[in-house]
Amino acid sequence: MDELTCIFSSLLLCCLLATSASLEHSSGTDLKTYIVHVLPNPIVSNSEDWHRSFLPPPQHIVSVVEPTTPAERLLYSYRSVSAFAARLTEQELRDVERRPGFVSAYPDRMVPLLTTRTPEFLGLYSDTEQGLWKDSNYGEGTIVGIMDTGIAAGLPSFQDNGLLPPPPARWKGVCEFNASSLCNNKLIGARNFARGLNAMNNHDKITAAAPPSDTEGHGTHAASTAVGMFVDGASVDGQAGGTAVGIAPRAHLSVYRVCAPRGCATSDIMAGIDAAIGDGVDVISLSLGGSSRPYYRDGIATSSFAAVASGIFVSCAGGNSGPKASSLSNEAPWMLTVAASTVDRNVRTTVTLGDGQRFDGESLYQPTDFPPTQLPLVYPGSTFSSAAYCSSGSLSRVNVTGKIVLCDTGNVGRVAKGKAVKNAGGAGMIIANRKVEGYTTLTDPHVLPASVVSYTDGLKIKSYINSTTSDAKASITFKGTVTGSSVLAPVVAYFSSRGPSKADRNILKPDITGPGVNILAAWPFDIGTPAAKFNIISGTSMSTPHLTGVVAVLKAAHPDWSPAAIKSAIMTTASRTTNNGSMIFDQNMNKADFFAIGAGHVDPVAASNPGLVYDLSPADYVPYLCGLNYTDSQVTTIVHKAIKCADYGPADLNYPSFMVFVSHGSSVTVTRTVTNVGAAGSSYSVRITEPVGVSVTVQPDTLSFSQANEKAQFIVTFTSDRSGSSGSSYSEGHLTWVSADGGDISVKSPIMVGINGGGNM
């Protein structure tokens, strides 16, 4: 992992990867936590007894209730997946592997929360996605399960205010807060899972009996983004007041604390998902995830499969390791993999140079008394390269008194740079993005007048400083919160992880992008003046709960849609354009490719009326997994029942996007089936935008449906036009079913073709 990724995606990620790597290499008689998958045993009625029978002898007789005593090896006996988590020595693991019924085992690992954090927030955020609220009654009746750092119960975002009905009859969850008043008809469940974390013996031990309070903030932020109630009069230091609200404000919330501030043990995440399935949630939201691995060694993927098999939607963060290629987390096709992009709002500051050049930037700190006069401008990095980041102490040899100081992002936090500049006597600060961050500017509560500018603008400012030597000047003026068409959005965030998928290169990932930059939502702690319990943070951790909320309102509007149907509806109606009509940009202001945005940006209103969906049943994943050349036991690990791949023929996964590889001059054919979820008696014709170098034919090219829920199959052939040329490349196009009845329904799928011409792709 390179330095930039480390600092900018998350310092934690690096620590955690280092931790898990060392854990996986420890040996000898040390106890280590393993996730052990076994065949279901229909004869033993209690699955925990069956799981215990695999453990070293004392374990199947001792029924220990207190799970944290060292003697207890069984951390979790899962019910939704045929697996358990246990602490074993390597020798004991080898004994377990010899037992009849054993399927597979792999070590537990820590995965990070997927936030790039800004330390504080002084802002207010209100979503504008109101259209679907009417159809879905704001998500009423659905239950959203959040796997995260717990929750600051009692905040206004999590009150029912007497406005919500009790949870539906299927609800079986529990509230572990000992003051039961903290749970209500909004927050209906709250549980704590920390055995895996504690067994890893890191610094964040959580008392098993502790309530699932959020001492970090991440879980509170995610929960309020997805389902927070309307909170009027949330005010911001120096900014206008307004209303904060989640995407599905009438949905119920159940919280599973499976993460500590430093990250989450996979065994705890699996326990949270296991509980959520039993409790009766409709949507599970995971703003966390580690580096890619095969599905059969990824407990999040195997437990998510069980959730989807129970009809529960699983919405997952795609990761903050972008813009590097193949940097995604949570790639399984039964998960929704969410990227992050900007919203049409910034808190603007404008830098004006002595020569009249102007650059718009961002800062949450918006002083009203900072004079707009030109001050001397200095870039310490041009004198001492070590001072370029304005870290504490680095400015001692540079005269910054009364000046505006230009600093590069990196090495230390953005707010910390401002503190160093202020301590050294500086009057103001401009922070220039590095190349990797491009145009993604993050909004922070700086301690002095400041503006964060893009990489390109930073270069122009540096070149101005170079050319004017000693008398460079600049002013900073404050424009407050700017929304709407003057802020180009969505633009993909630099940190948002990119495809292609490592786990299966034949599935296009990520699936979708949503708002994940400078997102305001509830926070456990007071921030700013006047004190307010809100914070602004960025990451795929923030875009994921937006999608989770969208899923909740879709589920409320269409209770009969399967998880795959909802996912298809979200993907085939996604928007591909920014608010000025151009195609969505990436962090460099180039057209974002499908490895950055998948099908595009979520459009919740359109998703409620998709016309056709690419549906899937849980059984459809079995031939897909066998087609990956997984062994029988690998497939069994994922689907939780004994599978013989020889019993299954090849089958294309009915995915709503197309990702194929063709060799020069040859063809590939795939089959898809669409289901009519629109009006009876509708028909569609196909429209193709061919990828460069590839011709695409569809058979048949029109589809007619006389009834609702009728299915129709079609075959798509991709042929590489080029012959003889060498070199490999990716090429993008679209396949769209357009309603022929004068309706305005377009069922759009992205096409990504890898054209093989020698060499690996």
Q: How many CB atoms lie within 10 A of CB 758?
A: 10
* Three-state SS annotation for 641-702: CCCCHHHCCCCCCCCCCEEEEEECCCEEEEEEEEEECCCCCEEEEEEEECCCCEEEEEECCE
Q: Which is nearer to ligand NAG, 14 or 210 (CB)?
A: 210
Reply yes or no: is the peptide bond before residue 530 cis, omega within 30 of 0.
Answer: yes
Instruction: Report the distance separating Cα 559 and Cα 137, nearest Å.
Output: 13
Q: Which is nearer to ligand NAG, 211 or 242 (CB)?
A: 211
Q: Is 479 exposed, middle or buried (0-12, 13-18, 19+ CB in 10 A)?
A: middle
The answer to whether residue 488 forms part of the interface with ligand NAG (CB under 6 A) is: yes
Q: Candidates 2-10, 183-191, 395-403, 473-481: pick the segment binding ligand NAG (CB under 6 A).
A: 395-403
Q: Which is nearer to ligand NAG, 151 or 569 (CB)?
A: 151
Which residues ranging from 204 to 223 are in contact with ligand NAG (CB under 6 A)? none
Q: Which is nearer to ligand NAG, 143 or 662 (CB)?
A: 662
Which residues ranging from 162 to 181 are in contact with ligand NAG (CB under 6 A)? 178
Residues in contact with ligand NAG, shown as a per-residue x/- string from 270 to 309 under the rule CB under 6 A: ----------------------------------------
For residue 577, the minimal CB distance to ligand NAG (Å) is 9
Of 51, 218, 546, 734, catalytic:
218
Reply yes or no: is the peptide bond before residue 107 cis, omega within 30 of 0.
Answer: no
Q: How many CB atoms lie within 10 A of CB 51?
A: 24
The tokens describing 39, both together, are 């065949």
For residue 674, the minimal CB distance to ligand NAG (Å) is 24
For residue 460, the minimal CB distance to ligand NAG (Å) is 8
Which residues ranging from 541 to 580 are in contact with ligand NAG (CB under 6 A)? 580
Q: Which is nearer to ligand NAG, 324 or 434 (CB)?
A: 434
148 is catalytic: yes
Q: Which of 469, 629, 726, 760 binds ligand NAG (CB under 6 A)?
A: 629
Q: Which is nearer to ligand NAG, 175 or 613 (CB)?
A: 175
The answer to whether residue 487 forms part of the interface with ligand NAG (CB under 6 A) is: no
For residue 742, the minimal CB distance to ligand NAG (Å) is 28
Residues in contact with ligand NAG, shown as a per-residue x/- string from 574 to 603 under the rule CB under 6 A: ------xxx---------------------
664 is catalytic: no
Instruction: Report the distance separating Cα 64 and Cα 72, nearest Å.
Output: 7
Of 108, 127, 148, 282, catalytic:
148
318: amino acid identity, one letter: G
Of 541, 543, 657, 720, catalytic:
541
Residues in contact with ligand NAG, shown as a per-residue x/- string from 438 to 477 under the rule CB under 6 A: ---------------------x--xx--x-----------
Q: Number of H helices and number of E strands within the chain?
A: 18, 34
Helix-strand-coil split of the chain, %, nearest 5: 25, 30, 45
Residues in contact with ligand NAG, shown as a per-residue x/- string from 366 to 385 under the rule CB under 6 A: ----------x-----x---
Instruction: Report the distance separating Cα 237 and Cα 417, nearest Å.
Output: 21
Q: Which is nearer to ligand NAG, 4 or 628 (CB)?
A: 628
Reply yes or no: is the peptide bond before residue 371 cis, omega within 30 of 0.
Answer: no
| Nearest of 497, 538, 119, 439 to residue 320 by alpha carbon | 497
Instruction: Report the distance separating Cα 665 and Cα 69, nearest Å.
Output: 64
Q: Which of 165, 371, 393, 402 binds ligand NAG (CB under 6 A)?
A: 402
Q: Which of 628, 642, 688, 738 binds ligand NAG (CB under 6 A)?
A: 628
Q: How many CA atoms lie within 13 A of 273 on its CB side?
A: 31
Q: Which of 26, 396, 401, 529 binds ligand NAG (CB under 6 A)?
A: 401
The answer to whether residue 7 forms part of the interface with ligand NAG (CB under 6 A) is: no
Alpha helices in 62-165 (DSSP H): 90-98, 131-136
Q: How many CA atoms lie within 13 A of 595 on its CB side?
A: 21
Instruction: Report the distance separating Cα 346 and Cα 363, nearest Å.
Output: 8
What secondary structure letter does DSSP report for 495? T
Q: Which is nearer to ligand NAG, 93 or 488 (CB)?
A: 488
Q: Which is nearer to ligand NAG, 396 or 582 (CB)?
A: 582
Instruction: Report the distance separating Cα 653 and Cα 622, nearest Å.
Output: 10
Contact 321, 478 (CB under 8 A): no
For residue 488, the minimal CB distance to ligand NAG (Å) is 5
Contact residues for 144 (Cβ-Cβ < 8 A; gap 6+): 223, 226, 227, 248, 251, 252, 253, 254, 281, 282, 283, 285, 548, 549, 552
Handedness of CA 571, 574, 577, 581 (dihedral sign): positive
475 in helix, strand or coil? strand
Q: Which is nearer to ligand NAG, 201 or 469 (CB)?
A: 469
Residues in contact with ligand NAG, shown as a per-residue x/- string from 330 to 369 under the rule CB under 6 A: ----------------------------------------
| Nearest of 266, 256, 191 to residue 223 by alpha carbon | 256
For residue 638, the minimal CB distance to ligand NAG (Å) is 15
Instruction: Report the distance separating Cα 509 and Cα 498, nearest Å.
Output: 8
Q: Which is nearer to ligand NAG, 53 or 667 (CB)?
A: 667
Applying CB under 6 A, the site for ligand NAG has a residue count of 16
Residues lying near ligand NAG in the complex (CB under 6 A): 178, 376, 382, 399, 401-402, 459, 462-463, 466, 488, 580-582, 628-629
Active site members: 148, 218, 541
